[in-house]
Structure 1
Amino acid sequence: MVEEGGDQGEGVARVNNRLPAPRPTCGTNWIAEAPVRLDWLVEDVVGGVRRQAPEHIYQLQVDEPLVVIGDEERLAQLLRNLLENAAKHTPPGTTVTVRLQRSGGSALLTVADSGPGIAAEHLPHIWDRYYRVDKVRSRAAGGTGLGLPIVKYIAEAHGGRVDVASEVGVGTTFTVELPLAPEAAAPARQPAEPWRA
Protein backbone atom coordinates (compact mmCIF):
# COMPACT_ATOMS: atom_id res chain seq x y z
CA MET A 1 0.00 0.00 0.00
CA VAL A 2 1.28 3.46 -0.89
CA GLU A 3 -0.26 6.69 0.36
CA GLU A 4 0.77 10.30 0.22
CA GLY A 5 -0.65 13.69 0.99
CA GLY A 6 -0.95 16.51 3.52
CA ASP A 7 -3.78 17.99 5.57
CA GLN A 8 -4.39 21.18 7.52
CA GLY A 9 -3.12 21.46 11.12
CA GLU A 10 -0.87 23.24 13.56
CA GLY A 11 2.59 21.69 13.20
CA VAL A 12 4.24 18.42 14.10
CA ALA A 13 6.02 19.82 17.16
CA ARG A 14 2.72 20.12 19.02
CA VAL A 15 1.95 16.42 18.79
CA ASN A 16 5.39 15.07 19.56
CA ASN A 17 6.89 13.79 22.80
CA ARG A 18 3.62 13.48 24.67
CA LEU A 19 5.37 10.99 26.92
CA PRO A 20 8.24 11.94 29.24
CA ALA A 21 11.77 11.30 28.04
CA PRO A 22 13.06 7.91 29.19
CA ARG A 23 16.13 8.00 31.41
CA PRO A 24 19.06 5.65 30.80
CA THR A 25 19.09 4.74 34.51
CA CYS A 26 15.48 3.55 34.66
CA GLY A 27 15.94 0.23 32.87
CA THR A 28 13.12 -1.06 30.68
CA ASN A 29 10.38 -1.30 33.33
CA TRP A 30 8.57 1.57 31.61
CA ILE A 31 8.14 -0.55 28.46
CA ALA A 32 4.88 -2.47 28.14
CA GLU A 33 5.07 -5.85 26.43
CA ALA A 34 2.12 -6.69 24.21
CA PRO A 35 1.64 -7.61 20.55
CA VAL A 36 1.57 -4.46 18.40
CA ARG A 37 0.44 -4.35 14.78
CA LEU A 38 3.21 -2.11 13.54
CA ASP A 39 1.50 -1.47 10.19
CA TRP A 40 -1.58 -0.08 11.95
CA LEU A 41 0.58 2.04 14.24
CA VAL A 42 2.55 3.53 11.35
CA GLU A 43 -0.62 4.35 9.42
CA ASP A 44 -2.14 6.04 12.50
CA VAL A 45 0.94 8.14 13.30
CA VAL A 46 1.56 9.26 9.72
CA GLY A 47 -2.12 10.13 9.34
CA GLY A 48 -1.99 12.30 12.45
CA VAL A 49 1.18 14.07 11.37
CA ARG A 50 -0.31 14.82 7.95
CA ARG A 51 -3.14 16.69 9.66
CA GLN A 52 -0.82 18.53 12.02
CA ALA A 53 2.00 19.41 9.61
CA PRO A 54 0.59 20.12 6.13
CA GLU A 55 3.70 21.96 4.97
CA HIS A 56 5.37 18.64 4.04
CA ILE A 57 4.28 15.75 1.82
CA TYR A 58 4.23 12.40 3.64
CA GLN A 59 4.48 9.28 1.51
CA LEU A 60 3.67 5.99 3.24
CA GLN A 61 4.63 2.53 2.01
CA VAL A 62 3.51 -0.51 4.02
CA ASP A 63 4.38 -3.84 2.42
CA GLU A 64 2.46 -6.23 4.71
CA PRO A 65 1.02 -6.64 8.22
CA LEU A 66 3.81 -6.94 10.80
CA VAL A 67 3.56 -7.68 14.54
CA VAL A 68 6.18 -6.82 17.16
CA ILE A 69 6.15 -7.25 20.94
CA GLY A 70 6.40 -3.95 22.76
CA ASP A 71 4.83 -0.72 23.93
CA GLU A 72 2.46 0.81 21.38
CA GLU A 73 2.67 4.32 22.87
CA ARG A 74 6.46 4.32 22.97
CA LEU A 75 6.76 3.00 19.44
CA ALA A 76 4.39 5.72 18.26
CA GLN A 77 6.57 8.26 20.07
CA LEU A 78 9.63 6.89 18.27
CA LEU A 79 8.03 7.45 14.86
CA ARG A 80 6.67 10.89 15.78
CA ASN A 81 10.15 11.94 16.86
CA LEU A 82 11.63 10.87 13.54
CA LEU A 83 8.92 12.69 11.60
CA GLU A 84 9.35 15.80 13.72
CA ASN A 85 13.09 15.71 13.08
CA ALA A 86 12.50 15.47 9.32
CA ALA A 87 9.99 18.34 9.38
CA LYS A 88 12.30 20.61 11.35
CA HIS A 89 15.30 20.10 9.13
CA THR A 90 13.80 20.09 5.64
CA PRO A 91 12.24 22.93 3.63
CA PRO A 92 8.44 23.16 3.36
CA GLY A 93 7.06 21.31 0.37
CA THR A 94 9.62 18.51 0.48
CA THR A 95 8.68 14.83 0.72
CA VAL A 96 9.19 12.62 3.76
CA THR A 97 8.91 8.92 2.92
CA VAL A 98 7.98 6.35 5.57
CA ARG A 99 8.32 2.67 4.71
CA LEU A 100 7.60 -0.46 6.73
CA GLN A 101 8.84 -3.81 5.43
CA ARG A 102 10.00 -7.24 6.53
CA SER A 103 13.66 -8.22 6.50
CA GLY A 104 14.14 -11.80 7.66
CA GLY A 105 12.96 -11.94 11.26
CA SER A 106 12.85 -8.18 11.65
CA ALA A 107 10.62 -5.25 10.80
CA LEU A 108 12.41 -2.37 9.10
CA LEU A 109 10.93 1.10 9.54
CA THR A 110 12.61 3.82 7.47
CA VAL A 111 12.04 7.56 7.47
CA ALA A 112 13.75 9.31 4.56
CA ASP A 113 13.83 13.00 3.65
CA SER A 114 15.31 15.04 0.83
CA GLY A 115 16.64 17.83 3.03
CA PRO A 116 20.11 19.33 3.41
CA GLY A 117 21.61 16.20 4.99
CA ILE A 118 23.95 15.85 7.96
CA ALA A 119 27.70 16.34 7.66
CA ALA A 120 29.79 13.27 8.48
CA GLU A 121 31.42 14.86 11.53
CA HIS A 122 28.02 15.29 13.19
CA LEU A 123 26.67 11.77 12.62
CA PRO A 124 28.39 10.08 15.63
CA HIS A 125 26.93 12.71 17.98
CA ILE A 126 23.27 12.95 16.92
CA TRP A 127 22.32 10.30 19.51
CA ASP A 128 23.83 12.38 22.34
CA ARG A 129 21.34 14.14 24.58
CA TYR A 130 20.94 17.86 23.84
CA TYR A 131 23.22 17.69 20.77
CA ARG A 132 22.03 19.91 17.91
CA VAL A 133 23.55 19.91 14.43
CA ASP A 134 22.08 23.35 13.66
CA LYS A 135 21.72 25.11 17.01
CA VAL A 136 20.15 28.29 15.66
CA ARG A 137 17.50 26.53 13.57
CA SER A 138 16.79 23.96 16.29
CA ARG A 139 16.12 26.66 18.88
CA ALA A 140 13.88 28.57 16.48
CA ALA A 141 11.88 25.40 15.80
CA GLY A 142 11.56 24.58 19.48
CA GLY A 143 13.91 21.60 19.42
CA THR A 144 15.20 20.19 22.71
CA GLY A 145 18.00 17.95 21.47
CA LEU A 146 16.21 14.94 23.01
CA GLY A 147 14.22 13.59 20.06
CA LEU A 148 16.85 11.32 18.50
CA PRO A 149 18.30 10.05 21.80
CA ILE A 150 14.76 9.01 22.76
CA VAL A 151 14.38 7.22 19.41
CA LYS A 152 17.57 5.25 20.06
CA TYR A 153 16.58 4.41 23.62
CA ILE A 154 13.10 3.19 22.66
CA ALA A 155 14.46 1.07 19.79
CA GLU A 156 17.07 -0.58 22.00
CA ALA A 157 14.54 -1.14 24.81
CA HIS A 158 12.54 -3.19 22.29
CA GLY A 159 15.56 -5.30 21.38
CA GLY A 160 16.16 -3.32 18.20
CA ARG A 161 18.48 -0.72 16.78
CA VAL A 162 18.45 2.48 14.78
CA ASP A 163 20.89 3.57 12.08
CA VAL A 164 21.30 6.71 10.02
CA ALA A 165 22.66 7.35 6.53
CA SER A 166 23.03 10.90 5.27
CA GLU A 167 24.57 12.81 2.41
CA VAL A 168 24.92 16.58 2.42
CA GLY A 169 22.69 18.09 -0.25
CA VAL A 170 20.81 14.82 -0.81
CA GLY A 171 19.00 13.91 2.39
CA THR A 172 18.87 11.67 5.44
CA THR A 173 17.44 8.21 6.08
CA PHE A 174 16.81 6.73 9.52
CA THR A 175 16.27 2.97 9.73
CA VAL A 176 14.76 1.31 12.80
CA GLU A 177 15.07 -2.48 13.02
CA LEU A 178 12.79 -4.32 15.46
CA PRO A 179 12.47 -8.08 16.04
CA LEU A 180 9.20 -9.53 14.79
CA ALA A 181 6.87 -11.32 17.19
CA PRO A 182 6.47 -15.10 16.99
CA GLU A 183 3.98 -16.14 14.34
CA ALA A 184 1.43 -17.14 16.99
CA ALA A 185 1.30 -13.67 18.57
CA ALA A 186 -2.09 -12.00 18.29
CA PRO A 187 -2.41 -8.39 17.13
CA ALA A 188 -2.76 -5.71 19.78
CA ARG A 189 -6.18 -4.71 18.52
CA GLN A 190 -8.67 -6.11 16.06
CA PRO A 191 -10.16 -4.23 13.10
CA ALA A 192 -13.68 -2.98 13.71
CA GLU A 193 -16.41 -5.44 12.85
CA PRO A 194 -18.32 -4.53 9.67
CA TRP A 195 -21.62 -2.85 10.40
CA ARG A 196 -24.66 -5.02 9.76
CA ALA A 197 -28.27 -3.89 9.47
Structure 2
Amino acid sequence: VEILQRNEHIDDEVRDRALSRLDGETKRMTRLLNDLLLLAELNEAPFGQALPVDLAELVRTRIDDLQLQEPGRHVTLEGPDSVLVVGYHEQLERLIANIIANVQRHTPSTARVVVTITEDSATATLTCDDGGSGMAPETLERVNHGVVRFASERNRSAGGSGLGLPIIQSIVRQHGGSIQFLKSTLGGLRVTITLPKSK
Protein backbone atom coordinates (compact mmCIF):
# COMPACT_ATOMS: atom_id res chain seq x y z
CA VAL A 1 0.00 0.00 0.00
CA GLU A 2 2.82 2.40 0.89
CA ILE A 3 4.51 1.73 -2.45
CA LEU A 4 1.30 2.62 -4.27
CA GLN A 5 0.69 5.71 -2.15
CA ARG A 6 4.22 7.09 -2.53
CA ASN A 7 4.48 6.63 -6.28
CA GLU A 8 1.94 8.47 -8.38
CA HIS A 9 3.47 7.30 -11.66
CA ILE A 10 4.23 3.69 -10.77
CA ASP A 11 4.64 1.29 -13.68
CA ASP A 12 2.22 -1.57 -14.25
CA GLU A 13 4.60 -4.38 -13.30
CA VAL A 14 5.53 -2.86 -9.92
CA ARG A 15 1.88 -2.05 -9.21
CA ASP A 16 0.80 -5.62 -10.02
CA ARG A 17 3.51 -7.05 -7.75
CA ALA A 18 2.49 -4.75 -4.91
CA LEU A 19 -1.19 -5.62 -5.32
CA SER A 20 -0.36 -9.33 -5.42
CA ARG A 21 1.60 -9.06 -2.15
CA LEU A 22 -1.21 -7.06 -0.57
CA ASP A 23 -3.75 -9.69 -1.63
CA GLY A 24 -1.59 -12.49 -0.23
CA GLU A 25 -1.10 -10.75 3.11
CA THR A 26 -4.81 -9.95 3.37
CA LYS A 27 -5.72 -13.60 2.81
CA ARG A 28 -3.09 -14.74 5.33
CA MET A 29 -4.40 -12.34 7.98
CA THR A 30 -7.97 -13.48 7.30
CA ARG A 31 -6.93 -17.12 7.81
CA LEU A 32 -5.10 -16.17 11.00
CA LEU A 33 -8.12 -14.31 12.38
CA ASN A 34 -10.48 -17.17 11.51
CA ASP A 35 -8.16 -19.70 13.16
CA LEU A 36 -7.84 -17.55 16.30
CA LEU A 37 -11.63 -17.30 16.54
CA LEU A 38 -11.95 -21.07 16.11
CA LEU A 39 -9.36 -21.71 18.85
CA ALA A 40 -11.30 -19.42 21.19
CA GLU A 41 -14.50 -21.36 20.44
CA LEU A 42 -12.78 -24.70 21.01
CA ASN A 43 -11.58 -23.58 24.44
CA GLU A 44 -15.14 -22.82 25.52
CA ALA A 45 -17.98 -25.23 26.34
CA PRO A 46 -18.65 -28.23 24.05
CA PHE A 47 -20.82 -27.72 20.97
CA GLY A 48 -24.08 -29.24 22.19
CA GLN A 49 -24.69 -32.97 22.39
CA ALA A 50 -22.03 -35.29 21.01
CA LEU A 51 -23.38 -37.73 18.42
CA PRO A 52 -22.09 -40.73 16.43
CA VAL A 53 -19.90 -39.56 13.53
CA ASP A 54 -18.47 -41.82 10.83
CA LEU A 55 -14.75 -41.08 10.99
CA ALA A 56 -13.95 -43.28 7.99
CA GLU A 57 -16.45 -41.41 5.81
CA LEU A 58 -15.01 -38.02 6.82
CA VAL A 59 -11.49 -39.17 5.96
CA ARG A 60 -12.55 -40.74 2.66
CA THR A 61 -14.38 -37.57 1.59
CA ARG A 62 -11.42 -35.33 2.40
CA ILE A 63 -8.97 -37.59 0.56
CA ASP A 64 -11.28 -37.63 -2.47
CA ASP A 65 -11.33 -33.82 -2.39
CA LEU A 66 -7.53 -33.72 -2.19
CA GLN A 67 -7.11 -36.03 -5.17
CA LEU A 68 -9.53 -33.92 -7.21
CA GLN A 69 -7.39 -30.86 -6.42
CA GLU A 70 -4.09 -32.68 -6.98
CA PRO A 71 -4.63 -35.73 -9.21
CA GLY A 72 -0.94 -36.61 -9.09
CA ARG A 73 -0.85 -37.13 -5.33
CA HIS A 74 -0.46 -40.72 -4.15
CA VAL A 75 -2.70 -41.16 -1.10
CA THR A 76 -3.64 -44.58 0.25
CA LEU A 77 -6.49 -45.12 2.72
CA GLU A 78 -6.45 -48.36 4.70
CA GLY A 79 -9.07 -49.57 7.16
CA PRO A 80 -12.76 -50.37 7.54
CA ASP A 81 -15.44 -48.66 5.46
CA SER A 82 -17.20 -47.29 8.53
CA VAL A 83 -16.00 -46.44 12.06
CA LEU A 84 -18.30 -44.51 14.38
CA VAL A 85 -16.77 -42.20 16.97
CA VAL A 86 -18.66 -39.98 19.38
CA GLY A 87 -18.29 -36.26 18.79
CA TYR A 88 -19.22 -33.14 16.87
CA HIS A 89 -19.42 -33.55 13.11
CA GLU A 90 -18.28 -30.04 12.17
CA GLN A 91 -15.25 -30.11 14.46
CA LEU A 92 -14.18 -33.60 13.38
CA GLU A 93 -14.54 -32.47 9.78
CA ARG A 94 -12.22 -29.55 10.58
CA LEU A 95 -9.79 -31.92 12.29
CA ILE A 96 -9.46 -34.08 9.17
CA ALA A 97 -9.28 -31.00 6.93
CA ASN A 98 -6.38 -29.59 8.97
CA ILE A 99 -4.47 -32.88 8.86
CA ILE A 100 -4.83 -33.07 5.07
CA ALA A 101 -3.99 -29.36 4.70
CA ASN A 102 -0.79 -29.98 6.67
CA VAL A 103 0.13 -32.72 4.20
CA GLN A 104 -0.57 -30.40 1.26
CA ARG A 105 1.53 -27.56 2.66
CA HIS A 106 4.50 -29.50 3.95
CA THR A 107 4.99 -32.45 1.60
CA PRO A 108 5.83 -32.49 -2.11
CA SER A 109 3.06 -33.73 -4.40
CA THR A 110 5.19 -36.78 -5.28
CA ALA A 111 5.52 -37.92 -1.64
CA ARG A 112 3.63 -40.99 -0.48
CA VAL A 113 0.82 -40.48 2.01
CA VAL A 114 -0.78 -43.39 3.87
CA VAL A 115 -3.83 -42.86 6.07
CA THR A 116 -4.80 -45.80 8.27
CA ILE A 117 -7.86 -46.29 10.47
CA THR A 118 -7.94 -49.05 13.08
CA GLU A 119 -10.31 -49.79 15.94
CA ASP A 120 -10.74 -51.84 19.06
CA SER A 121 -13.74 -52.24 21.35
CA ALA A 122 -13.44 -48.74 22.83
CA THR A 123 -11.43 -46.50 20.51
CA ALA A 124 -10.70 -45.65 16.88
CA THR A 125 -7.20 -44.67 15.80
CA LEU A 126 -6.38 -42.53 12.78
CA THR A 127 -2.77 -42.52 11.60
CA CYS A 128 -1.46 -40.28 8.82
CA ASP A 129 2.04 -41.03 7.49
CA ASP A 130 3.72 -38.91 4.85
CA GLY A 131 6.97 -39.03 2.93
CA GLY A 132 7.75 -35.34 3.29
CA SER A 133 10.61 -33.67 5.13
CA GLY A 134 9.02 -34.21 8.55
CA MET A 135 10.09 -32.30 11.66
CA ALA A 136 13.37 -32.01 13.49
CA PRO A 137 13.54 -34.08 16.73
CA GLU A 138 13.42 -30.93 18.88
CA THR A 139 10.32 -29.74 17.03
CA LEU A 140 8.61 -33.10 17.54
CA GLU A 141 9.35 -32.84 21.25
CA ARG A 142 7.84 -29.35 21.39
CA VAL A 143 4.66 -30.26 19.52
CA ASN A 144 4.11 -33.31 21.70
CA HIS A 145 4.28 -30.99 24.72
CA GLY A 146 1.81 -28.53 23.23
CA VAL A 147 4.27 -25.89 21.94
CA VAL A 148 3.25 -26.06 18.32
CA ARG A 149 3.26 -22.70 16.58
CA PHE A 150 6.03 -22.78 13.98
CA ALA A 151 8.21 -19.90 12.90
CA SER A 152 6.27 -17.30 10.95
CA GLU A 153 8.58 -17.61 7.94
CA ARG A 154 7.75 -21.30 7.51
CA ASN A 155 4.02 -20.66 7.75
CA ARG A 156 4.05 -17.66 5.47
CA SER A 157 5.87 -19.53 2.73
CA ALA A 158 3.53 -22.50 3.14
CA GLY A 159 0.39 -20.39 3.20
CA GLY A 160 -0.71 -21.30 6.72
CA SER A 161 -1.49 -19.35 9.87
CA GLY A 162 0.72 -21.45 12.13
CA LEU A 163 -2.34 -22.49 14.16
CA GLY A 164 -3.28 -25.68 12.34
CA LEU A 165 -1.69 -28.03 14.87
CA PRO A 166 -3.04 -26.17 17.93
CA ILE A 167 -6.50 -26.45 16.38
CA ILE A 168 -6.00 -30.18 15.79
CA GLN A 169 -4.87 -30.66 19.39
CA SER A 170 -7.80 -28.63 20.77
CA ILE A 171 -10.36 -30.64 18.77
CA VAL A 172 -8.83 -33.93 19.90
CA ARG A 173 -8.85 -32.82 23.55
CA GLN A 174 -12.46 -31.65 23.23
CA HIS A 175 -13.39 -35.17 22.10
CA GLY A 176 -11.57 -36.87 24.97
CA GLY A 177 -8.93 -38.28 22.64
CA SER A 178 -5.15 -38.29 22.38
CA ILE A 179 -2.68 -37.21 19.70
CA GLN A 180 0.98 -37.97 19.06
CA PHE A 181 3.50 -36.69 16.50
CA LEU A 182 6.36 -39.01 15.48
CA LYS A 183 8.82 -39.58 12.66
CA SER A 184 7.12 -41.64 9.98
CA THR A 185 8.57 -44.81 8.51
CA LEU A 186 7.96 -43.07 5.15
CA GLY A 187 10.50 -40.42 6.16
CA GLY A 188 8.18 -37.56 7.03
CA LEU A 189 5.65 -36.98 9.81
CA ARG A 190 3.34 -39.47 11.50
CA VAL A 191 0.24 -38.08 13.22
CA THR A 192 -1.65 -40.58 15.38
CA ILE A 193 -5.05 -39.64 16.81
CA THR A 194 -7.13 -41.87 19.08
CA LEU A 195 -10.80 -41.07 19.72
CA PRO A 196 -13.53 -42.75 21.79
CA LYS A 197 -15.89 -44.89 19.72
CA SER A 198 -19.63 -44.48 19.73
CA LYS A 199 -21.30 -47.13 21.88
TM-score range for the pair, normalised by the shorter chain length? 0.7 to 0.9
Aligned residue number for residue 28 of structure 1: 45
More helix by share: 2
Q: Deviations over 1:121-150 (max 9, x none)?
A: 112333436x216x4342112111110110
Aligned length: 167
Aligned residue number for residue 105 of structure 1: 122
Contact residue 106 and residue 158 of structure 2 kept, 8 A:
no
SS at match of 1:149: helix
Q: 1:45 aligns with which of 56, 59, 62?
A: 62
Give the drift of 1:27.
Answer: 2.6
5 Å matches for 1:1-197?
Answer: 20-23=37-40, 26-30=43-47, 32-126=49-143, 127-128=146-147, 131-132=149-150, 135-166=152-183, 170-182=187-199
Larger Rg: 2
| 1:62–1:138 Cα change, 3 Å | same
Q: Distance in 1 between matches of 2:192 and 2:48?
A: 21
Q: Distance in 2 between matches of 1:168 and 1:107?
A: 21
Structure 2 residues not aligned, in runs of 5+: 1-30
1:164 alignment partner AA: F
Query: RMSD in angstroms over aligned alpha carbons?
Result: 2.9
Give the drift of 1:64.
Answer: 4.7
TM-score calculated relative to the size of structure 1: 0.73
Contact residue 42 and residue 174 of structure 2 kept, 8 A:
no
Contact residue 39 and residue 64 of structure 1 kept, 8 A:
yes
Indicate the percent of aligned positions where both proteins have the same amino acid.
Answer: 29
More strand by share: 1
SS at match of 2:104: helix
Q: Which of 77-86 and 57-66 deviates more?
A: 57-66
Q: Which of 98-107 and 27-36 deviates more?
A: 27-36
Structure 1 residues not aligned, in runs of 5+: 1-15, 183-197
Contact residue 115 and residue 170 of structure 1 kept, 8 A:
yes
Q: Distance in 2 between matches of 1:169 and 1:110?
A: 13
Contact residue 130 and residue 184 of structure 2 kept, 8 A:
no
